[in-house]
A and B are shown apart, each in its own frame.
Chain A
Amino acid sequence: MRDPYEVLGVPQGASEEEIKAAYRELVKKYHPDKYQNNPLADLAEEKLREVNEAYEYLEKHGMGGYSNGTYQSGGYSSGSYQSSSSYSGNDAYVYQQVRRDIDAGRLADAEAALAGVSIRNAEWIFLSGMISYKRGMYDDAYAKIDQACNMDPSNFEYQRARNTIAQMGNRYRNVSQGQGYNYEDAFCQACQCYLCADCCCNCF
């Protein structure tokens, strides 16, 4: 096991408060929700496990008294692909297989299986969109899943997937803002003037 202090990024002998704060930050950083459907989800899960182990260790050995439960990743892991839709006949079977392939990252297999289905209903288009999503092609994914939503407006799974993509930008912006990103206002314009002047000065 790696040094638990190193894993949590706190100095040896850090206070209980510091350890808890660092732990909470890291849980946020590697949170399964953030990496849902991301091909790198397993790496995030591994990191989170390491963080949990380190925290549990310190809980037992270092921070006496404190015994809140650690964050359980189990509840969040996958589960996204329990097909909620009911399609009849052969296609339903193919779609199940396609979902398993997508989940396991076998995207070429999933694509080939989909190509064999002749009736292109909402589910077909949704799954095709999820393949694009897994490939990091977020605009194709959005367009397809949006189309699936329009074809089957009552399907929550499709809607949730569409919203996740639509919200990616906001999620990113919020982090930037939280860390101090400034939108252009009069003050910043002044800053920019200063920076330009500063760049000029750097020439000499």
Chain B
Amino acid sequence: MFGYVTCDKAELKMKDWERYNAYYCGVCKSIGARFGQIPRMILTFDAAFIAVLLAGLTDEEAAGGPSGSGGYSLRSERCIAHPLKEKLVVREEAVDYAADVMLLLAYYKMEDDRQDEHSLKAASAERYLRGAKSRIEKQRPGLGEVLAAQLTRQSALEAQKCASCDQAADPTGKIMEAVFCEGLKAVRGEPAGEQEVRRTDAQLRVLTQLGYQLGRWIYLIDAADDLGEDIAKGGYNPFKERFLYDPASETKEDFSKRVHDDAERILLSCLADMADCLDLLEIRRHTDIIKNVVQFGLLRQTDTVLEKLAGAAPHAANERKD
């Protein structure tokens, strides 16, 4: 479920591209500083979006979070991956929060891989991340509980070969919902005054729906992207069950072509809802980046995967930046 949430660089202003990267580097440095060097490998651009969106909900002066411990800073630094070139790095509460989310997700992914594939690499990575995971769960109990419960639900749905795309995508939706809502609480703290409480409640409702649809999209785009592979290996795939793949009467290419239009309708319905939610979100910073991701980046990823389903040459399919 990693790596699909990206911006569309061609449509982004240079300064916004730099800023987006500064958040990416910020999350990476935050992981490095608090949990050591190795977990930094798990980072994807998904984390940068979580950080930018949550940061966008606060003013720069308040970006240190309710505890005000970190405060906001933007600095030029070197790092292991780019030893020769200084990069801009953001530090603020939203960045630390996104780093925590990434670590928790990585931990559960490793746990899943270990159980599914009995992979030794996953087992040792899981052991390595376990300490960090319990520290984060202690600090952010709401998040940890939802994650563990929903991932268990997801395994159960997959084991029983759930034939509804919506049901299968529901746990990931609920996870992203919690990620954004807990995130808002983390960066804003308790709202003070009646008016603030009312506004925060409204924003939480918007974030709940926005996060839910983003989570659904992440799950479903991953499923659509892996469809060919899942058919070849005989693994579970919601599209396979929902649209009744029949190996006796059709090839996997024919099936992919057959589900193309439905997959497009399903994937874009998530994005359409997300875009409507975004219009109701009170964004104070980084508006252009956030809109770029929702309106261009996610659509670009969708079109790439749809092309793959339609049988176009699998060039650059699911291109990810490392």
Assign chain A's interface to a size class. 35 or more
Chain B residues, Cβ within 8 Å of A172: 268, 271-272, 275, 299
A181 touches B296 (CB 8 A): yes
Which chain A residues lie closer than 8 Å to B265 at the CB level?
139, 142, 165-166, 168-169
CA of A172 to CA of B9, assembled, Å: 19
Q: Does B260 contact A (CB under 8 A)?
A: no
The answer on a CB contact under 8 Å between A203 and B166 is no
- Give the residue among B8, B269, B277 with the most A Cβ atoms within 10 A: B269
Min Cβ gap A125→B in Å is 15
Per-residue interface assignment for chain A, residues 148 to 179, with 1 indicating a CB less than 8 Å from any chain B CB and 0 otherwise: 00000000000000000110111111011001
In the complex, how many angstroms separate the beta carbon of B201 from the nearest chain A beta carbon? 10
Binds A, one of B88-96, B205-213, B250-258: B205-213
The bracket for how many chain B residues form the interface is 35 or more
A61 CB to closest chain B CB, in angstroms? 25
Query: Of A38, A176, A204, which one neighbours B276 at CB under 8 angstroms?
Result: A38
- B148 on interface, CB distance cutoff 8 Å: no
Q: Which of B164, B280, B307 neighbours the largest number of chain A CB atoms within 10 Å of its CB?
A: B280
Q: In chain B, residues 274-322, which have Cβ atoms closer than 8 Å to a Cβ of chain A? A: 275-277, 279-280, 291, 295-296, 299-300, 303, 307, 316, 321
Which label, helix, strand, loop or mixed, suits the secondary structure of the A interface? helix
Pair A169/B268 contact, Cβ less than 8 Å: yes
Chain A residues near B268 (CB-CB < 8 A): 168-170, 172-173
The interface-forming segment of A12-20, A29-37, A52-60, A79-87 is A29-37
One of B11, B269, B277, B279 near A138 (C-beta < 8 A) = B269
Q: Which residues of B lie under 8 Å from residue A29 when comparing CB positions?
A: 279
Of all chain B residues, which has the CB nearest A35? B276
* Interface flag for A108 (CB, 8 Å): no
For the complex formed, measure the closest distance between the CB of B32 and the CB atoms of chain A, giving whole angstroms: 19
A182 within 8 A of B: yes
How many pairs of residues, A versus B, come closer than 8 Å at their CB atoms?
107
Asked if A195 is an interface residue, CB under 8 A from chain B, the answer is: yes
Within 8 Å by CB of B84, from A40, A140, A170, A204, lies A204
Closest to B220 in A: A139
B270 / chain A contacts, CB cutoff of 8 Å = 138
- Chain B min CB distance to A28 (Å): 10
Whether, in the assembled complex, B53 has its beta carbon less than 8 Å from a beta carbon of chain A, the answer is: no
Residues of A within 8 A of B170 (CB): 137
Measured in the bound complex, the distance between the Cα atoms of B294 and A173 in whole Å is 11
B223 to chain A, nearest CB (A): 12
User: Nearest Cβ distance between residue A130 and chain B, in whole angstroms?
Assistant: 14
Q: How far is the CA of A142 from the CA of B209 in the complex (A)?
A: 19
Type the 1/0 row for B149-172, where 1 means its CB is closer than 8 Å to any CB of A. 000000000000000111100100
Give the interface of A toward B (CB within 8 A).
Answer: 29-30, 34-35, 38-40, 43-44, 46-47, 132, 136-140, 142, 165-166, 168-173, 175-176, 179-184, 188, 191-192, 195, 199, 202-204
14 A-B pairs besides A136-B173, A203-B82, A204-B84 with CB distance below 8 A are A29-B279, A136-B216, A138-B269, A138-B270, A142-B265, A169-B267, A175-B275, A176-B295, A176-B299, A181-B8, A181-B295, A184-B303, A188-B10, A199-B321
